[in-house]
């Protein structure tokens, strides 16, 4: 395993109380593999990623337990200066909103070049040449001229390409992409996802793709981890999950999306609302919204049951869900 | 088709670009909407899809008179509302209401839910006499699936999906005939989206509403719409009934747009034929001559730069009839095989694991 997260817990201390954002998440990703982390807002998918990258705001955040083992070392035990050497060079992150993630007063060439001057000690001139190479690599037309331009002079799709170029600059072993195409139009989204998948194959990187879009996941992922209220509720190879989900929440999500190729009747809607993280329901966090819920669900928190050697479901009644 | 209650013809909205402070002169224009025609029947849903910057939201704003069009007419039951003012305009506006995209910024945080939903009654007091308002607001809360006792709460006490319900209740307050919904679910989570879509479906049949449903999510638009119009750079490039557009698109832009939508079916991954468009949408200040899609079109020829294609049924399809015979603004309109699932794996909905979708 390139990266293994084990039993991670993250809390946020706020004026109103303690929000338990991540409650025992474990997942792993291999080199060359794409793991999609699927979840709605507040499910803890981004917070987990921030804890892996070491960019969590502490305080108010606090990692209260768990390990993040990357290439054999537990990152949570490293000093900040050691982590900084890993961040960007060994693992990199692509954010949703490229406009606010790029510095508006520096040219894109300077921002790309900074990766090489800071981490590799190159001269500005060398760094500039590498920046142009990278921009070519992510297929930004007229890279030689555009390297001197500022982020606002690029379109949304082009800015996301620059983010990808920046993440790839030092050829990291792992890339975490947090909703990389959510802000883009579908035709541009297709271009960017294609590019990302191609570069991943070429560099044999591990990719963690954080998203809420079940369509994007079906297109690119090898494995899926579905998160709900800070826990993984189902983890499975991509084909299994779409064929027959083993958790009622996954099933609900799949059933609630309208399909392009069919005109549906009424959509299935998961009743109720996602839980408040300051007050997560006891037992299974999904029980107030679950059609299968019984007494045991209100009292006992389900462990991640083994459905098959490659598959897990945190539902007491996963067999029933699978058969349905 | 039922009688049209809204007819839009030649709608144009240009925003002037000026230079100079003392001697302002116009140096160009953002041609946000550049000649749009459509009609809407009673109780019908017209979906408008397109990418950002295509002008779909500007169309919405002109329909509810938040923007005055530069040219063209919007006829509500035969009367051109772009020429109305004062009392006449006010009474028309009552019948065309809007639901906005962002349930966080479209509700005043300092007003209670009761005041927000009841505010339309201050402007149109004839709809609800003063003493009756509280009850009316509570009825509306009930209709959109919120607890009527929440009438004194503030917007921040609600989740995104609940806020969008409040926005819908406000839109319904005056019992309009038309609701213009601009991306009403795009800010919501998947599980909550379905709830709001189902609510809109239910309200439509309950109140005999006509919807203009604007969205960039093609799957949602198909789900809710009777007819669909595809916009590109300020114009409608293709329009027809939902199956005509989704299963038999003839305009290359529609074809590319549909092929780019990720389908939640990993089996289809290897079998899908994707049309990946090159480049970005041109700037609306500098629209290409002839067909405005030609700079990104793989079929473009000389003729496309010279002649603007009209939005009409292509002659070669008109003769043959069938689902391909619908309006398409392309000189070389043609059908392409649409393959979204793996061959031999087109599973009818009732046999799909997971049941009805």
Lowest average pLDDT, out of A21-30, A242-251, B10-19, B269-278, goes to B269-278
pLDDT digits (tens, 9 = 90+) for A21-49: 999 999 999 999 999 999 888 888 889 99
pLDDT digits (tens, 9 = 90+) for A77-132: 888 888 888 888 899 998 887 778 889 999 999 999 988 998 888 898 999 998 99
Question: Looking at beta carbons, which residues of chain A come within 8 Å of B242?
Answer: 263
Question: Looking at beta carbons, which residues of chain A come within 8 Å of B189?
Answer: 40-41, 212, 274
For the CA atoms of B78, B84, B87, B90, the dihedral, rounded to the nearest 10 degrees, stands at: 70
Task: Give the closest residue to A121 by CA, choosing from A159, A85, A76.
Answer: A85
pLDDT of residue B349: 35
Question: Looking at beta carbons, which residues of chain A come within 8 Å of B267?
Answer: 239, 242
The answer to whether A242 contacts B267, with C-beta atoms less than 8 Å apart, is yes
CB B305 within 8 A of CB B298: no
pLDDT of residue B338: 66
pLDDT band, residue B137 (cuts 50/70/90): very high
pLDDT of residue B16: 87
Instruction: Name the pTM for this structure.
Output: 0.82
pLDDT band, residue A262 (cuts 50/70/90): low
Taking CB atoms and an 8 Å cut-off, how many pairs form between chains A and B?
155
pLDDT of residue B348: 36
- DSSP states of B76-99: ETTEEGGG--HHHHHHHHTTEEEE
Mean pLDDT of chain B: 85
Lowest average pLDDT, out of A6-15, B64-73, B274-283, goes to B274-283
Question: Looking at beta carbons, which residues of chain B come within 8 Å of A218?
Answer: 262-266, 268-269
pLDDT digits (tens, 9 = 90+) for B7-43: 999 999 999 888 877 778 888 888 889 999 999 999 9
Is pLDDT at A263 greater than 80 in this prediction? no
- Please tell me whether the interface predicted TM-score (ipTM) of this complex is above 0.90: no
pLDDT of residue B329: 93
Rounded distance, CA B96 to CA B178, Å? 5
- For residue B161, what is the nearest residue in chain A, using CA coordinates? A273
- For chain B, the straight-line distance linking the first and the last C-alpha, in angstroms and rounded, comes to 28
Question: Looking at beta carbons, which residues of chain A come within 8 Å of B233?
Answer: none
- For residue B50, what is the nearest residue in chain A, using CA coordinates? A185
Task: Give the closest residue to A191 by CA, choosing from A143, A139, A135, A133.
Answer: A139
The answer to whether B262 contacts A191, with C-beta atoms less than 8 Å apart, is no
Is pLDDT at B354 greater than 50 in this prediction? no
Is pLDDT at A151 greater than 70 in this prediction? yes
Is pLDDT at B192 greater than 60 in this prediction? yes
Is pLDDT at A172 greater than 60 in this prediction? yes
pLDDT of residue A264: 62
pLDDT band, residue B339 (cuts 50/70/90): low
The fold of B42-71+78-231 is Rossmann fold (3.40.50)
pLDDT digits (tens, 9 = 90+) for B162-172: 888 899 999 99
* Interface residue of B51, B144, B194 to substitute, partner A, most A CBs within 10 Å: B194
- Which of A158, A215, A239 is facing B262, going by the closest CB pair? A215
Q: Chain A closest CA to B195's CA: distance in Å?
A: 5
Residue extent(s) of CATH 3.40.50.300 domains in chain B: 42-71+78-231
The answer to whether A267 contacts B260, with C-beta atoms less than 8 Å apart, is no
Determine the 3-state secondary structure of A64 from DSSP. strand
Q: What are the Cα distances from residue B270, in Å, to A159, A217, B263, B343?
A: 28, 14, 12, 10
The answer to whether B276 contacts A217, with C-beta atoms less than 8 Å apart, is no
The answer to whether B194 contacts A267, with C-beta atoms less than 8 Å apart, is yes
- For chain A, the straight-line distance linking the first and the last C-alpha, in angstroms and rounded, comes to 34
């Amino acid at each position: 395993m390139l990266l293994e997260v084990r039993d991670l817990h993250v809390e946020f201390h706020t004026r109103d109380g303690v929000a338990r954002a991540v409650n025992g998440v474990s997942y792993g990703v291999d080199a060359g593999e794409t793991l999609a982390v699927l979840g709605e807002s507040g499910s803890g998918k981004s917070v987990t990623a921030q804890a892996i990258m070491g960019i969590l705001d502490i305080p108010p955040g606090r990692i209260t337990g768990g390990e993040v083992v990357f290439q054999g070392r537990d990152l949570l035990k490293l000093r900040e200066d050691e982590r900084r050497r890993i961040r960007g060079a060994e693992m990199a992150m692509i954010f949703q909103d490229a406009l606010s993630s790029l510095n508006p007063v520096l040219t894109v060439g300077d921002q790309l070049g900074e990766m090489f001057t800071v981490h590799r000690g190159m001269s500005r001139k060398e760094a500039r040449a590498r920046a142009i190479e990278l921009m070519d690599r992510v297929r930004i037309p007229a890279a030689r001229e555009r390297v001197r331009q500022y982020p606002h002079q690029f379109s949304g799709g082009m800015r996301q390409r620059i983010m990808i170029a920046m993440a790839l600059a030092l050829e990291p072993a792992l890339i975490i992409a947090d909703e990389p195409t959510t802000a883009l139009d579908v035709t541009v989204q297709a271009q960017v996802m294609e590019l990302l998948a191609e570069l991943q194959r070429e560099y044999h990187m591990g990719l963690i793709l954080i998203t809420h879009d079940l369509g994007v996941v079906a297109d690119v992922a090898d494995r899926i981890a579905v998160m709900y209220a800070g826990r993984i509720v189902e983890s499975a190879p991509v084909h299994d999950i779409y064929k027959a989900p083993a958790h009622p929440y996954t099933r609900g999500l799949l059933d609630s999306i309208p399909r392009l190729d069919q005109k549906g009747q009424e959509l299935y809607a998961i009743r109720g609302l996602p839980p408040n993280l300051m007050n997560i329901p006891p037992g299974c966090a999904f029980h107030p919204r679950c059609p299968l819920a019984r007494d045991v669900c209100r009292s006992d928190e389900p462990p991640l049951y083994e459905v098959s050697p490659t598959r897990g479901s945190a539902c007491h009644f996963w067999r029933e869900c699978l058969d349905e | 088709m039922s009688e049209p209650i809204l007819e839009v013809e030649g709608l144009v909205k240009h925003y002037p670009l000026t230079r100079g402070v003392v001697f302002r002169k116009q140096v160009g224009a953002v041609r946000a909407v550049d000649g749009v025609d459509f009609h809407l029947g009673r109780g019908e849903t017209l979906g408008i899809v397109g990418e950002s910057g295509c002008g779909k939201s500007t169309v919405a704003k002109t329909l509810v008179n938040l923007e005055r069009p530069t040219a063209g007419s919007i006829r509500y039951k035969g009367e051109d509302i772009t020429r109305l003012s004062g009392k006449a305009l006010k009474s028309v506006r009552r019948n065309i209401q809007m639901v906005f995209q962002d349930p966080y910024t479209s509700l005043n945080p300092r007003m209670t839910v009761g005041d927000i939903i009841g505010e339309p009654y201050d402007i149109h007091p004839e709809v609800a006499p003063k003493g009756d308002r509280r009850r009316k607001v509570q009825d509306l809360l009930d209709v959109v699936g919120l607890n009527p006792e929440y009438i004194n709460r503030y917007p921040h006490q609600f989740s995104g999906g609940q806020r969008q319900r409040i926005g819908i209740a406000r839109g319904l307050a005056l019992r309009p005939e038309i609701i213009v919904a601009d991306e009403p679910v795009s800010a919501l989570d998947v599980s909550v989206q379905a709830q709001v879509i189902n609510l809109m479906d239910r309200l439509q049949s309950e109140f005999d509403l006509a919807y203009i449903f604007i969205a960039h999510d093609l799957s949602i638009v198909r789900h809710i719409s009777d007819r669909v119009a595809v916009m590109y750079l300020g114009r409608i490039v293709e329009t027809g009934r939902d199956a005509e557009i989704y299963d038999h698109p003839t305009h290359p832009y529609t074809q590319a747009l549909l092929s780019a939508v990720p389908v939640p079916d990993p089996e289809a991954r290897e079998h899908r034929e994707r049309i990946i468009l090159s480049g970005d949408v041109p700037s609306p200040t500098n629209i290409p001559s002839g067909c405005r899609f030609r700079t990104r079109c793989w079929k473009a020829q000389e003729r496309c730069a010279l002649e603007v294609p009209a939005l009409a049924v292509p002659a070669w399809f008109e003769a043959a009839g069938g689902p391909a015979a619908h309006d398409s603004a392309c000189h070389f309109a043609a059908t392409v095989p649409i393959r979204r699932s793996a061959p031999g794996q087109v599973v009818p909905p009732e046999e799909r694991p997971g049941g009805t979708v």
